[in-house]
Amino acid sequence: MTETQAGMEAAVVAASNSSQVPAIELDGVVKEYLAHGEVVQAVKGVTLTIAEGEFFSLLGPSGCGKTTTMRMIAGFEDPSRGTVRLHGQDVTNVPANKRDVNMVFQSYALFPHMNVWENVAFGLRRKKVGDAEIKRRVGEILEIVALTGREKRRPREMSGGQQQRVALARALVNNPRALLLDEPLGALDLKLRQAMQIELKRIQREVGITFVYVTHDQSEALTMSDRIAVMNDGLVEQLATPREIYERPATAFVANFIGTSNLLSGTVDRVEAGSAVLELDEKSRVLVGQASHRAGEPIAVTVRPEKITISTEEPAGDLSIVRGTVSEVVYLGLYNSYAVNLSDGAEITVFQQNALDSTSTAERGDTVWLSWQPHHSYAIGN
């Protein structure tokens, strides 16, 4: 084991020992701006706790308050109300340069006239760190971001992904206890972005510090995060693991924002063997497992496209079974996507994986049955 690795493991151990104290806490944080004489609430009351060493994402559409939330963690904005704590200490009124966090932006703004080494060393030189120490730390960080051997390159001689890794190195070299990243991959094309997602996750694992990641890209958040806060209009709609957010969306907004989802709504007709039953028409019923709903109550249900089986013959069993007409079939390589219209006008999307021996079962215009297990119907709030 090299000294570097040993040092890093020690850092990871230290992080897990102090894991009782959260890295970041927001408590009822509100941010109001005065714009054209009117009060705009960019963040309407966010309370959340981020654990030490966690890869945590703020995910939501443009304008939902992600950047504002991040800037309050970094200390670039003062909250109008509420408290920000870092490692257990109230830092609400502590300026950015006195907080033990570093921020990386989409526009990485490297110094164009400096090479990679000088860009990364810049902050340490300004802090009057000794030459030997600078040499050790810059070398160590360049190894982590896989830029060893590129020390002499200028930013313009590098790809966007490499430049972003220099920006990352420049933040990490300060040994922050947390790194805040605001849409850092936004300027990269899809292939590079996907490669950098894996790379970022590896770097985070290696340095063992808390990453807070802002993105509007759901697949990016699902790929990298330990937990995700899904934001909408200045509020957190759901805070959970990627799997939970995908499998059990708390609200219609989350269900629609993350992946493709089908929404069905109606009134509970009866409760049978632990499932709420919605009769959509004489040939269609939806079973909702684990629902605490009673007969007569309105209910909204989501079901993911890949949980649904499509068949040209009526299935049997304790399943949700709905009848419809295929309005569209799209071949997508890995799977087929079917659009199926129900008698009440609702459209259901179904993904069917292309197995080795699969033959196309349904075509446009066919009457089909869709079926799925009761526990794949998930009742949601508003």
Footprint on this chain of ligand ADP (rule: CB under 6 A): 33, 35, 40, 42, 60, 62-68
User: At CA 93, angle to CA 87 and CA 95, rounded to 5?
Assistant: 85
Nearer to ligand ADP, 64 or 310 (CB): 64
Contact 138, 173 (CB under 8 A): yes
How would you classify residue 190: left for phi > 0, otherwise alpha for psi between -120 and 50, otherwise beta? alpha
Q: Residue 32 or residue 226: which is nearer to ligand ADP going by CB?
A: 32
We find the least distance from the C-beta atom of residue 276 to Mg ion, in angstroms, to be: 40
Binding to Mg ion, residues 53-72 (CB under 5 A): 67
Q: Which of ligand ADP, Mg ion, none does 331 bind, CB closer than 5 to 8 A by kind?
A: none
Least separation in angstroms between CB 42 and ligand ADP: 3
Cα separation, 24 vs 14, whole angstroms: 16
Contacts of residue 191, Cβ cutoff 8 Å, sequence gap at least 6: none
> Taking CB within 5 to 8 Å according to partner kind, which of ligand ADP, Mg ion, none is near residue 64?
ligand ADP
At closest approach, how far in Å is the CB of 235 from ligand ADP?
Answer: 12
- Kindly determine how many residues on this chain lie close enough to bind Mg ion according to the rule CB under 5 A: 1
**Dihedral (CA of 302, 305, 311, 317) sign:** negative
d(CA 1, CA 122): 29
CA quadruple 237, 242, 13, 135: dihedral, nearest 10:
-90
Q: Least distance to Mg ion from the beta carbon of 241, Å?
A: 23
* Binding partner selected for residue 295 from Mg ion, ligand ADP, none, CB under the kind-specific 5 to 8 Å limit: none
- Say if residue 345 is exposed, middle or buried (CB neighbours under 10 Å; 0-12, 13-18, 19+): exposed
Which of Mg ion, ligand ADP, none lies near 198, with the C-beta cut-off 5 to 8 A by kind? none
Question: In residues, how long is the chain?
Answer: 382
Residue 183 CB, shortest distance to Mg ion, in Å, is: 6
* Paired tokens of 327: 């309005």
Cβ atoms of 150 and 138 within 8 Å: the answer is no
Q: Which is nearer to ligand ADP, 63 or 381 (CB)?
A: 63
SS3 152: coil
- What's the min distance (Å) between Cβ of 34 and ligand ADP? 8
**Nearest CB to Mg ion, comparing residues 68 and 261:** 68
> Out of Mg ion, ligand ADP, none, which partner does residue 359 contact, by CB within 5 to 8 A per kind?
none
Name the residue nearer to ligand ADP (CB basis): 46 or 348.
Answer: 46
Chosen from ligand ADP, Mg ion, none, partner binding at 42 (C-beta under 5 to 8 Å by type) = ligand ADP
Binding site for Mg ion (CB under 5 A): 67
